[in-house]
Amino acid sequence: MDERSKTSVEDRFVGCLLGVAIGDALGMPVEGWSREMIRMHYGVLAEFQPSPSRGLGPGQFTDDTQMMLMHAESIVATGRVDGDDLARRFVAWLRSGDVRGIGRSTILSIKRLTQGIHWRESGQAGEFAAGNGVAMRIAPVGLLDCQHLERLKEDVRTAGAITHHNPEALAGGLAVAYAVARLSTGEAQPATLIEETSAFVGECEVSHSLRRAQKLLESAVPAADALQVLGTTGYVVHTVASAFYAFVRTPDRFKQTVIEAVMAGQDTDTTGAVTGALSGAYNGVHHMPTRWLEQVESRAHIEKLARRVYALTVRANATAD
Ligand SMILES: [Mg+2]
C-alpha cells in the first residue's frame, strides 16, 4: 500500500477545497501576466505574494474561491445542489462590495438575476460564454456527488446554468467535478484520469483538448512548453486541459504541480485554483505544504465546510443502505 492510498476520503475533501484556495492565492498577484513577466519579477513564484494594486495580501484568494465557497456553503445549508439558493448567494455576493474579480458571463448573468430573471434562464449563451466560471467553482459539487456520477451530471448543469449556457463551459465544469469525485474517493489513478474523464464528458472541445494534454504527457516536451501549447487563458478549453496536464505530470507533488500551473501565466489564479482542486483531492490535506496551509486565507472555515460536505455524503450513503 503506498502513502496516498492511506489518505482518508475526508482528508481528500479538505485537501480539494483548500487546494482551490491555495492555487488561487498563489496565482492572485500575477493574474494576466505572461510567463516571462512572472519569471522576471519573481524567478520561481513559490510563496504567496501580495497584490497592492488589488488591495489583497499574501494568501488571499479571488473570485474563484469566493464562488467555490458559495457552492460549499449552499450545499451545507440545503444538503444538495439547489439553484434557487445558489442564485440568491450569487446576488448577495455581487452586492456585498467584496467581489475580487468577476468573469464577463458571471457578472452579466448575476445582473440578469437582479432584474428578476429566473436562474434557469440567467446564464449566458454564445461563443463568448466559454469561460472558466463553472470549472473554477465546481469542486464542492464533485465532492457531494462523488458516489453518484449520474446525479453529478445533472447537478453540474444546474449549478452551471445560473451563469453559463455554453456547452464547453459546462463540459469544463463537468470534467473538473468528475475528476474531483473520482480522485477524492481514491478510485481514479492519475495515469488513466484523462482518458476516463474524456469518456465521461463526451465528444467536445474540452475532451479533445484533454486528449491533447495526454499526448503531451507521453512525449518529452518540457512542462512549460506543453502548458504554452495547451493554453492558460480565460477559455475553459485551455484551462481545464492545462490543469489536468499539470496534475497528471507530477501527481504526488502538490507544491510543484501548483507552482508549474501558475508559472505558465495568463489566467493564473484560475489555472491555480483548478489544478489545486485536482491535486488536493488526490493528495489530501496532509500532503500539502504546511507553510501554504498556515498562510492561506479562511483555512479553518474552508476546512469546516469540506468536513460538513463529507458528513453529508456519509449520511446519504447510510440512508441508502
Ligand atoms: Mg479570479
Q: How many angstroms separate the CA atoms of 11 and 52, rounded?
A: 34
| Residues forming a β-bridge with 56 | 51
Distance from the CA of 102 to the center of ligand 1, in angstroms?
A: 7
Ranges of residues in the chain whose predicted pLDDT is under 50: 1
313 touches 143 (CB < 8 A): yes
Distance from the CA of 21 to the center of ligand 1, in angstroms?
A: 10
Q: How many angstroms separate the CA atoms of 188 and 272, rounded?
A: 21
> Structural domain tally of the chain?
1
Cα angle, residue 238 at apex, residues 232 and 240 outer, rounded to 5°: 100
Confidence at residue 320, expressed as pLDDT on a 0 to 100 scale: 64
Q: How many angstroms separate the CA atoms of 319 and 321, rounded?
A: 6
Going from the C-alpha of 285 to that of each of 112, 257, 261, 276, 291, the distances in angstroms are 38, 15, 19, 11, 12
Three cell numbers written together for 286 = 496532509
Q: In this structure, is residue 50 part of a structural domain? A: yes
**Mean pLDDT for the chain overall:** 96
Distance from the CA of 5 to the center of ligand 1, in angstroms?
A: 32
Confidence at residue 1, expressed as pLDDT on a 0 to 100 scale: 47
Range of the domain at 19: 7-320
pTM for this predicted structure: 0.97
Identify the CATH number of the domain in which residue 56 sits: 1.10.4080.10
Distance from the CA of 269 to the center of ligand 1, in angstroms?
A: 5
What is the DSSP secondary-structure string of 39-107? HHHHSS--S---BTTTTB-TT---HHHHHHHHHHHHHHHHSS--HHHHHHHHHHHHHHS------HHHH
Q: In this structure, is residue 2 part of a structural domain? A: no
> Which residues, 6+ apart, have CB-to-CB distance to 168 below 8 Å?
130, 204, 205, 206, 236, 237
Q: In this structure, is residue 1 part of a structural domain? A: no
Write the pLDDT tens digit of every residue in 91-125: 999 999 999 999 999 999 999 999 999 999 999 99
Q: In this structure, is residue 288 part of a structural domain? A: yes
Confidence at residue 220, expressed as pLDDT on a 0 to 100 scale: 83
Distance from the CA of 273 to the center of ligand 1, in angstroms?
A: 9
Tracing cell 459539487 back to the chain, one arrives at 141
Q: In this structure, is residue 26 part of a structural domain? A: yes
Q: What percent of the chain has pLDDT over 90?
A: 93
Distance from the CA of 291 to the center of ligand 1, in angstroms?
A: 22
What SS3 class is residue 171? helix
Distance from the CA of 2 to the center of ligand 1, in angstroms?
A: 35
14 touches 284 (CB < 8 A): yes
Confidence at residue 11, expressed as pLDDT on a 0 to 100 scale: 98
The candidate with the shortest Cα–Cα distance to 141, out of 176, 185, 92, 100, is 176
